[in-house]
Amino acid sequence: MRSEYVDAHGVKIHCLVAGDGPETVVLSHGLTANAHSFAGYIEAGLSERYRVVLIDLRGRGLSDQPEDYSMEAHMRDLIAVLDHFELDQAIIGGHSFGALLSIYTSYHHPDRFRAMILIDAAARLHPDARDLVGPAIERLGQIWPNRTAFIEEMRQSVYLGGAWDAALESYFDADIRDLEDYSVTPRSQKHHIIEAVTKSLGIGEQWLEYITGATCPTLLINGPDAYVDDKALLPMELALETVDLLYDGYYAAVSGNHMTMMFGEGAQESVVAIDRFISSLT
């Protein structure tokens, strides 16, 4: 994968680009993640048939850290990425928060979407969703004595359930920056992430309007296994509820939970589902 930077109205947005297929797939990561969260998809072959553009959302990864983390600001960045890569229409999607960003943008800019891929996001999540994502948010702002200590603690994360591979390690490795004393800390700032959560949830019932207003074919990929405390972040019944609300919705369940579905077997099954979905487009 190669890096490329996009000027989004003065905000530098970092992207990873892989593959050179005739169809372009643009993907945005989850709330506290970075573009390397799709490393499992690349290992599973997504870039062998498509050009894949993976975005570091503002405040994450190698992108700038400005002050505004509203959905509108994220949307402006996404449109700037599409313009930079000269994509009048594309297959656009994301994981979790990145999927919500796709829904929001598809409602306001339907002409830019050829199709949409939603990865474990829906109109409603588990009622305890805020508590379930707590461990991922709580790592932000912490300091570890070195990279090895950080990686080892992440390997023990409750939501991974013992899962680990090279793609997962590359994702967590991209999550941190070095401090002067060789200690490490996550790149994302906790107050930025909390603002993103607050402002996206603040949209409230409008999410139903955005989802029912989607006019392009949409694939929802669901990882229904337990995430934390034996609870799935997106239970299958709530995922199917959103598929029923979509104008032209399709559903695929894959192995893993909200996080582990992005790697290993879950990633392989997701790439198969994405390839089948894109092949069905007319």
Does the domain at 2-126+190-280 match CATH 3.40.50.1820? Answer given as: yes
CA-to-CA distance for 280 and 129, rounded, in angstroms?
33
| Residue 190, CB-side half-sphere exposure with 13 Å CA sphere | 12
CA 269 – CA 223 distance, rounded (Å): 11
The per-residue pLDDT of the chain, averaged, comes to: 94
Give the tokens for residue 93.
């999607």
Asked if the model's pLDDT at residue 201 lies above 80, the reply is: no
The pTM of this model reads 0.95
DSSP 250: E
Higher pLDDT, 205 or 167: 167
Domain map of the chain by residue range? 2-126+190-280
* Element containing residue 2 per DSSP (H, E): strand 2-8
Condensed to tens digits (0 to 9), the pLDDT of residues 40-97 reads: 999 999 999 999 999 999 999 999 999 999 999 999 999 999 999 999 999 999 999 9
Alpha helices in 119-185 (DSSP H): 129-132, 134-138, 147-155, 166-173
